[in-house]
Amino acid sequence: MEIILNEYHKKVNAEKKASVAYWKLHPRSRKESLRRLKLLREQRLANLSNW
């Protein structure tokens, strides 16, 4: 079975490749990564506490 990509999928794939290339050149520091993880955990807890 041959995979056929339409224009939307080609566009999304190109955007993802560009994003990966950018982050390879500009990696986050450990401190920034931990800060973002902390924020995500806080948001998740706040979201779950509303249930």
What are the Cα distances from residue 10, in Å, to 2, 3, 5, 19?
16, 12, 6, 14
- Is the pLDDT at 51 greater than 80? The verdict is no
Chain segment 3-48, per-residue pLDDT in tens: 888 999 999 999 999 999 999 999 999 999 999 999 999 999 999 9
| 18-37: burial string, b at 16+ Cβ within 10 Å, e else | eeeeeeeeeeeeeeeeeeee
- Is the pLDDT at 50 greater than 90? The verdict is no
Give the per-residue pLDDT at 1.
Answer: 79
Give the per-residue pLDDT at 45.
Answer: 94
